Amino acid sequence: MSSFEQRQQEIVRRVALQAQQQPVMSSGLWFHHDIRDNFYYAAYLFAASADPGCPVPFDKEVTLASSSQMLLKVLKLQDRDPESETYGHWPLYLDPVPKQAKPSALPVELMGSLMAFFYRDHRDSMSPPLQAAFEAAFEHIYRSRFYEKEEPGFTHHDAKYTAAKLIFGQMFRDYALVEDGHRSLVRMLRHVRENGMAEYGALPWFWHWIQAFTAAWELIDDVDVNRDLGDMLDYLWHERSLYYLKGAWVGPHAQAWPHDVPQDANVLFDYVQFGDFPLPVDMPRTEFAGFLFYEAPEDVRRNALDRSMPTEVRKRSRTDGQEGKPAVIHRYAYITEDYAAGGVWERVREPDNEQHRWDISLPLTNSSSINQAFFFHPVALHAEEDPRHESDIAEVMFHQNAVLALYPVPEGDEVAVHGMLPKGEWLQEPNALFGRVERAYIAVHLPQPVELEERSDRWKAIAPAGPFAVAVEAIGAAEAERLCIGSLAEFAAVMREHAPTFAPDAAGVVYRSLAADAELELSAGPDGSFRALVGGEPVSFAKYEA
C-alpha cells in the first residue's frame, strides 16, 4: 500500500468511525442541514465496512447494512418526475421534513459525479436493491440535462457540468455529450492557462474543481479526453502547490468559508497529496478525499514540500469586470519554511463578501490555534466574530516578509478594526505587538494601542474606533538565529529599532523592514486613491503572470 493509499485509508477509517457514532434522527437520516453529508458519511461507512483490510472497532456486517439503508434514503429523495422543473435533483436542506424539502440545483452538481465514481468502485458489495437505486438515480440525472447551460463559464459550477457531461455521456453511450464535455474541458483549460483562476484561495470551490475532474479522469475511457483531464489536473495541482505550506493555503482567499479563515481546516486533499502535516481531529468537509486521488507531477509535489528557500509568487487573474469589480486582480505570496505572507492587492466584493485580503500564515502543526494573523475592518458592528466579512475599507501593500495595511475608517463609523492572532507567546506594548508562534516571530507595529482579548484558539485585538493602520513583519527561526535572536524579548528589542512612521489619522505608513533592502511606503489620498512605493519607486505588476 502506497503512502497516498495509507493516508486515504486513515481518512476513510476516521470518517467511518464518526458516521458509526452519529445519532440517527427521526427521519432516519443523520443530518438535515445538508443532504450531501448523509451521502458522504454513508459512503465512508460503507467503504470501511466492505474493506476487509480497514481496521475499525465495529461489526462490519451491521454497519454495511445500516450504511446501505442510509444511501437508499438519500437516493429516494431525488425528484424523479420528468415533468418537474427540478427533475433529477435532490433537496439541499432537509428541515423540517426531508420528504417535503424543496429540490435544489446544488447537490447533483457535485454529488452526482461522485455517486458515479463511488458506484463503480463499490457496486460489487452492494445489495441488488441498492444497485438498482443507484442505476435509477443515474438515469434520472442523465435525462435531467442539468449539465447543459446556455452560457457556460469558467467557475466551479462549469467544472462540475463539464465533468458530468463526460461521465454520464460515457455511462449512457451518448458520445455527442462526451464530445460536448470534451470541448468544454479544452475551453476551460485554455482559459485558466491564459487568464488564471478567478476562483482562488483555500475554499470549497477549488476542491470542487479537483473532485469533478478527478472523478472524470478515473471514469473516462477515451484516451484523448483522459489526456486533457490529466493536463487540467496537473494545472490545478500546480496552482495549489504555489500557495502550499504544510497544509496551509497562504496568500489571498476568495469566497472563503468559516473553515478557511482564520484557520485552514479544509485540508483533506492536501493531506493525501502531501502528507507533511498531522491529520486534524476536526474535518469540516469530508467530501471524497478518502476515495479520489490523482498524483500530482513530481516537480509540483517537490516544489510544494521543499520550502527551504524563500519563494515569491506573483499571479494575476481576470474577473468578469462587472459591478465595479477590477478587470484584473493581482495576488502575492512570500513563502518560507516557517511562515508565509501575502494577499490580494485589489478589493473584490464577492457574492457573500468573503474576500480575505491578507495574512501571515503558519504551517498546520497546532490544531488548537488558528494559523493566520491579520487585521480587518468588519463589514458591520459585531461582524468580527466571522472575520471573513470585511468592509471595503482597506488598502494593502506586500513586500516579501512585510505587509502594510491602511484602514481609513470615516468619521462617525463605530465599527473598529479587529485583529486575529494565533495562540503563542505575545508581548504587548503601546505601539506594537511582538509574538513568537511555533517557529515564527511576528511584529505588529501600531499607530496607537489596541485591546487584547484571549480566546480559546486565538488572541483578538480591538483597535480604537476610527482610522487605523498596521505594519506587520515576520521572520522564521533560522533567520532569527542568523540575527542572534533567541527569545521573544530579543526579537522585540531588535524590532523596536524598526518602528515605522505613521501619518496623522493613519493615512500612511513608511517602514524599513528587518531585511532593510528598501523603504516601503503606503499612503491613501483624500480622493480614495492610494500609493505604494518600494525604495521610492511605484510598485510594478509587470512580473505578475496568469
Task: Look at residue 155 and tell me if it is in a domain.
Answer: yes
Mean pLDDT of the chain: 94
Task: Look at residue 250 and tell me if it is in a domain.
Answer: yes
- On whether both 290 and 383 belong to a single domain, the answer is no
Helix (H, G, I), strand (E, B) or coil at 11: helix
Which set of grid coordinates corresponds to residue 246? 504544510
Residue 175: the pLDDT is 96
Please say which residue of 295, 326, 350 terminates a domain.
295
Residue 381: the pLDDT is 75
The answer to whether 160 touches 117, Cβ cutoff 8 Å, is no
- On whether both 71 and 207 belong to a single domain, the answer is yes
Nearest of 482, 370, 349 to residue 420 by alpha carbon = 370
- Once rounded to an integer, what is the mean pLDDT over residues 35-51? 98
Domain of 396 in residue numbering reads as 368-538
The answer to whether 125 touches 50, Cβ cutoff 8 Å, is yes
Task: Look at residue 335 and tell me if it is in a domain.
Answer: no
- On whether both 390 and 477 belong to a single domain, the answer is yes
- On whether both 280 and 402 belong to a single domain, the answer is no
DSSP class per residue in 149-184: -SS--SSHHHHHHHHHHHHHHHHTT-HHHHHHHHHH
Question: Each residue of 392-437: pLDDT tens digit?
Answer: 999 999 999 999 999 999 988 999 999 999 999 999 999 999 999 9
Which set of grid coordinates corresponds to residue 536? 521610492
- On whether both 291 and 372 belong to a single domain, the answer is no
- On whether both 375 and 291 belong to a single domain, the answer is no
- Once rounded to an integer, what is the mean pLDDT over residues 440-448? 98
Percent helix, strand, coil in the chain, to 5, is 35, 20, 40
31 pLDDT exceeds 90?
A: yes
User: Which H helix or E strand runs over 14?
Assistant: helix 3-21
Task: Look at residue 14 and tell me if it is in a domain.
Answer: yes
- On whether both 290 and 396 belong to a single domain, the answer is no
Alpha carbons within 13 angstroms on the beta-carbon side of residue 376 total 33
Contacts of 173 (CB under 8 A, 6+ apart): none
120 pLDDT exceeds 70?
A: yes
- On whether both 291 and 384 belong to a single domain, the answer is no
In 196-289, which residue ranges form alpha helices assigned H by DSSP? 204-219, 223-242, 268-273
The residue ranking higher by pLDDT, 199 or 107, is: 107
Alpha carbons within 13 angstroms on the beta-carbon side of residue 535 total 6
321 pLDDT exceeds 70?
A: no
Residue 294: the pLDDT is 98
Task: Look at residue 314 and tell me if it is in a domain.
Answer: no
Task: Look at residue 340 and tell me if it is in a domain.
Answer: no
Beta strands in 439-536 (DSSP E): 440-445, 451-454, 458-462, 468-476, 501-502, 508-512, 519-524, 530-534
**Structural domain total, the chain:** 2
Which amino acid makes up residue 237? Answer: W
Lowest mean pLDDT among 132-146, 309-323, 487-501, 502-516: 309-323
Residue 324: the pLDDT is 60
- Provide the 8-state DSSP code for 100: G
Helix (H, G, I), strand (E, B) or coil at 483: coil
Question: Each residue of 224-275: pLDDT tens digit?
Answer: 999 999 999 999 999 999 999 999 999 988 888 889 999 999 999 999 999 9
Residue 350: the pLDDT is 78
Task: Look at residue 543 and tell me if it is in a domain.
Answer: no
At residue 323 the predicted structure's pLDDT band, cuts being 50, 70 and 90, is: low
Task: Look at residue 326 and tell me if it is in a domain.
Answer: no
User: For residue 443, is it left (φ>0), alpha (ψ between -120 and 50) or beta?
Assistant: beta
Residue 320: the pLDDT is 67
- On whether both 426 and 533 belong to a single domain, the answer is yes
At residue 511 the predicted structure's pLDDT band, cuts being 50, 70 and 90, is: very high
- On whether both 372 and 287 belong to a single domain, the answer is no
Please say which residue of 241, 269, 295 terminates a domain.
295
Please say which residue of 243, 271, 295 terminates a domain.
295
- On whether both 195 and 105 belong to a single domain, the answer is yes
